[in-house]
């Protein structure tokens, strides 16, 4: 699970039926201090979180990502699961 910044969105009419209703956000993954980019942007599904452009979010990837859709089986591999208010790094 990684941090990312919402930088845009995509719209698709022709898609797998189960994706209807999900927002598809373009997200730039970030380092843990939220200051630098981490790799290439990805597209993540958002249901219910309603993240918008500029928001810092955290995402889940892989086989757990479809679980944001409850019992609907949806082919997604990255999902937005929360909006970050603050991320505290403690120097130990």
Partner 1 sequence: MFLARVVGNVVSTVKHPAYHGKKILILDLIDKEGNPTGDYQIGVDYVGAGPGDLVIAGGPPGAAREVFNIKFAPIKVLVMGIVDKYYIGEEEYPS
Partner 2 sequence: MILCKVIGKVVCTRKDEKLVGGKLQLVIPVDCETLKETGKTQVAIDTVGAGEGDIVLVVGGSSARLTPLTKTSPVDSAIIAIIDTIEANGKLTYSTGR
Element (DSSP H or E) covering residue 58: strand 56-61
Shortest Å, Cβ 17 to partner 1: 20
Pairing status of strand 56-61 against strand 78-83: antiparallel
Residue 48 binding partner 1, by CB under 8 A: yes
Nearer to partner 1, 14 or 86 (CB): 86
Question: Among 45, 56, 60, 68, which residue interacts with partner 2 (rule: CB under 8 A)?
Answer: 45
Q: With beta carbons less than 8 A apart as the criterion, state whether 66 and 79 touch.
A: yes
Q: Per this entry, what is the length of the chain?
A: 92
Residues that bind partner 2 (CB under 8 A): 7-19, 24, 26, 40-45, 53, 62-63, 65-66, 73-78
């Amino acid at each position: 699970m990684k941090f990312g910044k919402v930088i845009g969105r995509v719209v698709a009419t022709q898609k797998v039926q189960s994706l209807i209703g999900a927002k598809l956000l373009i997200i730039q993954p970030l380092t843990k201090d939220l200051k630098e980019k981490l790799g290439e942007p990805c597209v993540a599904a958002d249901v219910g979180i309603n993240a918008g452009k500029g928001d810092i979010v955290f995402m889940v990837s892989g086989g757990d990502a479809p679980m944001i859709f409850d019992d609907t089986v949806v082919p997604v591999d990255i999902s937005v699961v929360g909006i970050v208010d603050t991320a505290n790094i403690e120097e130990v």
